[in-house]
Amino acid sequence: MPSMRKDLTLFGGYHSPQVEVDVRLNTNESPLGPSIEFLSDLQAAIQSLSLNRYPDRTAARLREALAALHDVSPDEIFIANGSNEVISTLLLAYGGPGRKAMTFEPTYAMYAQVAKVTSTEHVGIERGLDFTLDLAAVLDANIKYRPDIVFFCSPNNPTGLDEDPEIISKLAEDSNPLIIIDEAYGQFASFSALKLARSHSNIVVSNTFSKVWSMAGLRLGYLIGPKEIIDNLWATCLPYHIDSIKQAAGLLALGHLDAMQATHDLILAGRYQFETGFDALDVIYWKSSANFILFRAPHGKGDELWKMLVDGSVLVRNCSGWPRLSDCLRVTVGTPQENDRFLKVLSEALVELRSEVDPR
Ligand SMILES: *Cc1c(COP(=O)(O)O)cnc(C)c1O
């Protein structure tokens, strides 16, 4: 038997620890399931599908509906099994040996991971101290490394900060790498890069049904960009990769915009609840444009705080071992009850930790 590809051995892959707890606020999903109306419509739709037949290969109806939603042409939309598969298809088509992808760290780890799997060279540029980007630094890095592909994540995971559209458009005009803007949390942000994609031939924007649409379990994501790029992605992906049930589900979800909007509003209220809670507890955090917030534990206590939260049956993402993020944890906005529970357990843990730091 052959061994695994040498460049992939000793490579752990991407995973977020799953622990049995009452309150799961670690993977940025929606805290609410899809609406009852959506579920009963989906059930009926499944019954009318011919599951013995292959699905519509290019998901024409779903593309038309998404095109109408975003005011673009259906030719400008690629669909895949979650935006992670969008990223992977992009790197299969435009990355690979001899090609280079650039990211701004810290950011979503999947870009580097998929670069590695597709043998695309990865260049990670450090963000500024406050995790924002500086135009001159971005343009310098572009000249120094000449990447084929540049990833932006807006709002950025795990910091929650928006990218600067000015920097993205300057970079797009400065040279012509393929620029991908991942808007997995775009609905919670104050701006979308979509208009940049409309006016630049080298900018594409990805989106997902995994967050505000409450459909992470269905695995559905898409990319909007110029037709030439989109055509290349359809040529690269496997045939029939988007199953019929998923196509029906996506189409139905778009017919229930009100449910999505209600989830969106609940999450924004929850984000505000966290901000007020953190302020009251004197916790350092980054002002988020997404459905999660990055915050900092007392010095040297990141792992300990994470464990104390787990002991209180609340799971958040422990980022404290990640480069640049010492003592940082990332919490996803949940239901109001889950948010209360998190803040209560956090407050009790901080009393204990702070008394250790400063014994009186
Ligand atoms: C959650 C997330 C995604 C979503 O991935 P799916 O494959 O669509 O579930 C994409 N990008 C970022 C930055 C994310 O945090």
CATH of domain 6-32+258-357: 3.90.1150.10
User: Which pLDDT score is estimated for 14?
Assistant: 63
Length of the chain: 360
Sign of CA dihedral 134, 139, 142, 143: negative
Which residue minimizes the CA distance to atom 3 of ligand 1? 184
Give the pLDDT score at 7. Answer: 84
Identify the CA nearest to 204 among candidates 76, 69, 107: 76
For 329, list phi and psi in degrees, rounded to 5.
-125, 150
Cβ-contact 302, 316 below 8 angstroms: no
Place of tokens 């809670």: 277
Which amino acid belongs to residue 42?
L
Which uninterrupted H or E stretch holds 178? strand 178-182
Whether 210 lines ligand 1, by a CB cut-off of 6 Å, is yes
Kindly report the protein residue whose alpha carbon is nearest to atom 11 of ligand 1: 184
Distance 84 CA to ligand 1 centre (A): 6
Structure tokens at 246: 């998923």
**Closest Cα to atom 1 of ligand 1:** 184
- Indicate the average pLDDT of the chain: 95
Strands (E), the chain: 23-25, 77-80, 100-105, 121-126, 149-153, 178-182, 203-208, 221-224, 284-285, 292-296, 314-318, 328-332
State whether the beta carbon of 250 lies less than 6 angstroms from ligand 1.
Answer: no
| The pLDDT of residue 31 | 96
Tokens standing for residue 193: 């890069």
Distance in angstroms (rounded) separating the CA atoms of residues 337 and 134: 39
Cβ contact 196:224 at 8 Å: no
**Cβ(84) to ligand 1 under 6 A?**
yes
Pocket test for ligand 1, best of 25, 83, 86, 205 (most atoms within 8 A of CB): 83
Rounded Cα distance between 36 and 117, Å, is 39
Q: Check residue 357 and give its pLDDT.
A: 59
Show the low-confidence residues of the chain (pLDDT under 70).
10-15, 357-360
Query: Is the minimum distance from the CB of 183 to ligand 1 under 6 angstroms?
Result: no
* Ligand 1 site, residue 221, Cβ cutoff 6 A: yes
Residue whose CB lies within 8 A of the most ligand 1 atoms, among 108, 156, 206, for a mutation test: 108
Residue 254 sits at φ, ψ, to 5 deg, of -65, -20
| Index of the ligand 1 atom closest to the CA of residue 219 | 9
For residue 206, report the distance from its CA to the centre of ligand 1, in Å: 9
Q: Is the CB of 28 under 6 A from ligand 1?
A: yes
Question: For the chain, which residues make up each domain, given as ranges?
Answer: 6-32+258-357, 37-255
Q: Report which ligand 1 atom has the smallest distance to the Cα of 84.
A: 7
* Atom from ligand 1 closest to the CA of residue 85: 7
- Residue spans of beta strands (DSSP E) within 28-76: none
Would you state the structure tokens that stand for residue 263, as one six-digit string? 């989830």
Å from CA of 185 to ligand 1 middle? 8
Cis peptide before 147 (omega within 30 of 0): no
User: Ligand 1 in contact with 81 (CB < 6 A)?
Assistant: no
Compute, in angstroms, the gap from residue 79 CA to the centroid of ligand 1.
14
CA of 37 to the centre of ligand 1 (A): 25
Say if residue 90 is exposed, middle or buried (CB neighbours under 10 Å; 0-12, 13-18, 19+): buried
CATH 3.40.640.10 matches 37-255: yes
- 284-285 β-sheet, strand order: 23-25, 314-318, 328-332, 292-296, 284-285
Q: Which atom of ligand 1 is nearest to the CA of 210?
A: 9
CA of 353 to the centre of ligand 1 (A): 33
Output the CA 319–ligand 1 centroid distance in Å: 17
Report d(CA 39, CA 44) in Å as an integer.
Answer: 9
Q: What pLDDT is attached to residue 15?
A: 67
Q: What crossing angle do the helices spanning 135-145 and 165-174 adopt, rounded to 10°?
A: 30
